[in-house]
Structure 1
């Protein structure tokens, strides 16, 4: 009976092993199919057959999901996002696919994948009228480019930021164009020429023709590995137009001639390339068909070989293999369940700890601010009012003595005493006004910042320039005071720590968004090397800006100064 039972058990395990082998073969077949649909979709997209491309990407994605191949799923999600985003006629929402790709990048903790996702989010939210959301994603991407292996991507991010600001914020656009061209070491010659041309177009639209010509001249002298004729045609055409605008018709004619020569050469070259590509495409298609046929034959041979090999080993490993699978799967299930419970508990504790830490940080920042304000008022009372009151006390004692002895003119002594009382009153009033930022309350944020800059510049140690745009109306008083304190503290940091000779404060209000850019030519610093709990008060400033629902970004390079950009929504 035992022998019969064992035979029955072996038969069952053999069947199980066959099923497992069949499953393995089916998995491999699905993987081939998924890759086939993916490549087919890429070809359809190249041929501008977007509906066919979309359908094949979806088929590939579904198969990769069944196989649980995360890298391939992420790759499909990004391709589908870019396809839908570029085509209005597909009538699909691309964002869920980008969200899935971003989630994958976060789980992988891969900086390059995260950079790609953030740039795509910035493109998705691109809106020249309301740039805030797109701009925030570009700033997040810039943070990632601080690592050496991703620094070259700063070029494209700054270039995109420049285009984002072109329509409504031309000054900021010019700032980012200059930032882009300041990264020449990170660019290829083709990229550098492209950026010179883009900047010249911006300057031409601003009617700054001579500056546009200067940028195009820089591009003209650069030698390129490829597309030289194409770029020459563009450069000569733009130069001709600019010279025409400024009335230099001789040079305009000269560059029109160069433009025509480059255009004719380019047309001949493109025609030859097109003929060569058609021939190449035909030969490639022929080879692909032969390779596909050969691959199918090899696949059939490989399938038969695998089946024979599987049958050879069935009798040897059936019992051991089946038992091990059952034990290992059971243990693995228990271990996964325990790990999931532990991870859930750890995550809950982390969230609670983070919330408490954030609450404590906010409270500490508020208390620290209050303590500083109390200390300042106490010093004002001691240094200014204390001496006046001491003098006033002496005068009252003199009045008392003089009433009896009449050594000094009584009326003169009364007048001096009254003057001291007036002075004490004015000092108390001035301290009260300082407490409520009197200049701001009376004349507004812009005047207060300008007065501060004038006072600092008058010492001839540092020149501070204030540039404003759109501040025709006053903001809410408490908001103006908070913003002034932030600017004041950042300016103090420049004076104390930057060793700068020049600084600028750019304040602009547009479309319910207050933009502040503070720059200096000082020694710069590394943001990640700062102790945020003391020093320059950066943590306190960030806390205040967060409370105002704004954003705070620092761009600093050692030896090249610093730029601090603040955006605050204004109701």
Structure 2
């Protein structure tokens, strides 16, 4: 259908109107979202947290409507931190952090991922889920190791040290030392704080001399901020340590300095509070003026944009509308032909792909069957072959001894019967191994739970299996390998650790399979393991290495052992 001049003119007016309307609407939404975000920040500053929450939600909804990905993520993070810091909002903070984490993954931004992992660790720490908090700190550590963010290692080590302080003091000590090794010497606040926390750690262990030595090191550092607060904590701990070792003179001097800094801090706090009240009053006054100016500027800008868009739209329409109409008519037939050709090519491609997949499946089945036959043949040869050969010799001896009777006939019969029993048991064990555990379609988690139940009954040991995220079965060969690794580690504990309790923590999150096995046994020196007699550790490390995973052992004499395994599924 051809368009006359009047129809072209009407179409031009409609398109220009749509362009102007869309541009103005988009600009208005962006301004509104920014306005609500800024208002939320102001309310948060004034401790009006519920109003801050409402404005963040309004800003988030508008940014979602116009699909501003970075601004959506920023709102989600602000909402998480606001809700997490305020108990009176009665909202769940975690969904907002989950959304921010998805955004960081999509961006493949190491810094944003590090921020998400740290927030997850703090969230679970606040909710007394120490195991998950520790898991996310290790994820943060892995992110730092694989990026250019190594300046943050010291902060993560400091958090892990504090996390391990109560339950695993030996591990805490290691992380305190790693913090001191990795901290930037110019980061005086972190260095000062680590010395203080390290000293408090030794105080809890009644090692007051070591605590005093660390406090003296902290004393040599001048913090760049919060000096009164830091020195108050420093001299309070000095006083406690000197009191415990009976040096009452130095304890009294430390208490005097503690009181001085405490009084100074109280006076400073009062002055800051008065200053903040005045600042808030002046800020509120200025904000009203700014809002009025912004409103006037917004109206002026909207008019200018509307006129500019009208002009641009008219020019674009004149230049391109005629060309587009002619080209669309000329190309319509060619497009139909191309579409038909594409459909035919797609059909042929799909048929070829199906044939290739079918051949791949057949080859995989044949290869798997061949490997299984070979493995069964090796089991029969190694385990059953020697027994049957010995059994044959016994029968020959029975035949020869029938007439000569040089050997006790009954004893020879008993030995032969025992060999037959042994051959039967080996055949039975091969058959059971073929159908055991994960191979019998029970799944990894069910196989681990069954193994734990059987061991607990037989050996009078308590085994707890804790799982997270294992809602779907994994690839069969991975399940079998993982089961064998866990089985061998538990066997090592039963043989060597003299433990009463074992915990198997297995979780699947973010395409990472993480396994933590902890026991309360006698422990050992992990660095002194002989590679030839190392309780199967070398074999386990080799299996995990083939899966591109990581394997760590944390063991202390008298405190038990923790094994951390991380296997990526991609």
TM-score normalised by L of structure 1: 0.61
* 1:326–1:83 CA distance, 2 compared to 1 (3 A): farther
Using the TM superposition, give the Cα deviation of residue 325 of structure 1 relative to its aligned residue in structure 2, in angstroms.
8.7
What CA deviation, in whole Å up to 9, does each residue of 1:41-63 have, x standing for no partner?
12222222221111111100110
Partner residue, 2:213: 214
Partner residue, 1:389: none
Counterpart CA distance in 2 for 1:328 and 1:107 is 39
TM-score normalised by L of structure 2: 0.61
Q: Secondary structure at the match of 2:88?
A: helix
Partner residue, 1:515: 518
Partner residue, 2:257: 258
What CA deviation, in whole Å up to 9, does each residue of 1:3-38 have, x standing for no partner?
9x3213312321321221122011111101101111
Using the TM superposition, give the Cα deviation of residue 116 of structure 1 relative to its aligned residue in structure 2, in angstroms.
1.8
Q: Secondary structure at the match of 2:35?
A: helix
Using the TM superposition, give the Cα deviation of residue 283 of structure 1 relative to its aligned residue in structure 2, in angstroms.
4.7
Counterpart CA distance in 1 for 2:67 and 2:326 is 24
Aligned positions of 1:212-251 closer than 5 A: 212-251=211-250
**Contact 1:10/1:319 (<8 A) preserved:** no
Counterpart CA distance in 2 for 1:16 and 1:160 is 59
Using the TM superposition, give the Cα deviation of residue 183 of structure 1 relative to its aligned residue in structure 2, in angstroms.
2.0
**Contact 1:128/1:168 (<8 A) preserved:** no
Partner residue, 1:86: 85
What CA deviation, in whole Å up to 9, does each residue of 1:349-397 have, x standing for no partner?
9xx99xx99xx9xx99xx89x98x999999999xxx9xxxxxxxxxxxx
Partner residue, 1:439: none
Partner residue, 2:53: 54
What CA deviation, in whole Å up to 9, does each residue of 1:139-169 have, x standing for no partner?
2222101135222222232333333334444
Partner residue, 2:33: 34
Counterpart CA distance in 1 for 2:138 and 2:105 is 17
**Contact 1:209/1:245 (<8 A) preserved:** yes
Partner residue, 2:204: 205
* 1:534–1:211 CA distance, 2 compared to 1 (3 A): closer
Stretch moving more, 108-117 or 21-30: 108-117
Using the TM superposition, give the Cα deviation of residue 285 of structure 1 relative to its aligned residue in structure 2, in angstroms.
4.4
Using the TM superposition, give the Cα deviation of residue 297 of structure 1 relative to its aligned residue in structure 2, in angstroms.
3.2
**Contact 2:121/2:137 (<8 A) preserved:** yes
Counterpart CA distance in 2 for 1:53 and 1:190 is 31
Aligned positions of 1:473-484 closer than 5 A: 473=461
Counterpart CA distance in 2 for 1:176 and 1:328 is 69
Counterpart CA distance in 2 for 1:327 and 1:211 is 87
Q: Secondary structure at the match of 1:90?
A: coil
Counterpart CA distance in 1 for 2:2 and 2:484 is 92
Counterpart CA distance in 2 for 1:315 and 1:483 is 72
* 1:226–1:83 CA distance, 2 compared to 1 (3 A): closer
**Contact 2:544/2:550 (<8 A) preserved:** no
Partner residue, 1:539: 545
Aligned positions of 1:478-493 closer than 5 A: none
* 1:66 maps onto 2:72 in alignment: no
Using the TM superposition, give the Cα deviation of residue 170 of structure 1 relative to its aligned residue in structure 2, in angstroms.
3.7
Partner residue, 2:192: 193
Using the TM superposition, give the Cα deviation of residue 227 of structure 1 relative to its aligned residue in structure 2, in angstroms.
2.1
Counterpart CA distance in 2 for 1:196 and 1:190 is 10
Partner residue, 1:119: 118
Partner residue, 1:19: 18
Unaligned runs of 5+ in 1: 386-402, 404-409, 411-420, 436-470, 490-504, 523-531, 543-551, 557-562
Counterpart CA distance in 2 for 1:326 and 1:99 is 48
* 1:44–1:126 CA distance, 2 compared to 1 (3 A): same
* 1:146–1:518 CA distance, 2 compared to 1 (3 A): farther
**Contact 1:515/1:566 (<8 A) preserved:** no
Counterpart CA distance in 1 for 2:323 and 2:96 is 40
Q: Secondary structure at the match of 2:223?
A: coil
Counterpart CA distance in 1 for 2:271 and 2:255 is 25
RMSD: 5.6
Counterpart CA distance in 1 for 2:229 and 2:239 is 16
Counterpart CA distance in 1 for 2:25 and 2:300 is 16
Counterpart CA distance in 2 for 1:2 and 1:151 is 67
* 1:78–1:47 CA distance, 2 compared to 1 (3 A): same
What CA deviation, in whole Å up to 9, does each residue of 1:373-422 have, x standing for no partner?
999999999xxx9xxxxxxxxxxxxxxxxx9xxxxxx9xxxxxxxxxx9x
Using the TM superposition, give the Cα deviation of residue 220 of structure 1 relative to its aligned residue in structure 2, in angstroms.
1.4
**Contact 1:518/1:564 (<8 A) preserved:** no
Unaligned runs of 5+ in 2: 388-403, 407-414, 430-458, 465-481, 506-516, 529-537, 554-561
Counterpart CA distance in 2 for 1:161 and 1:42 is 31
Q: Secondary structure at the match of 1:145?
A: helix
* 1:159 maps onto 2:158 in alignment: yes
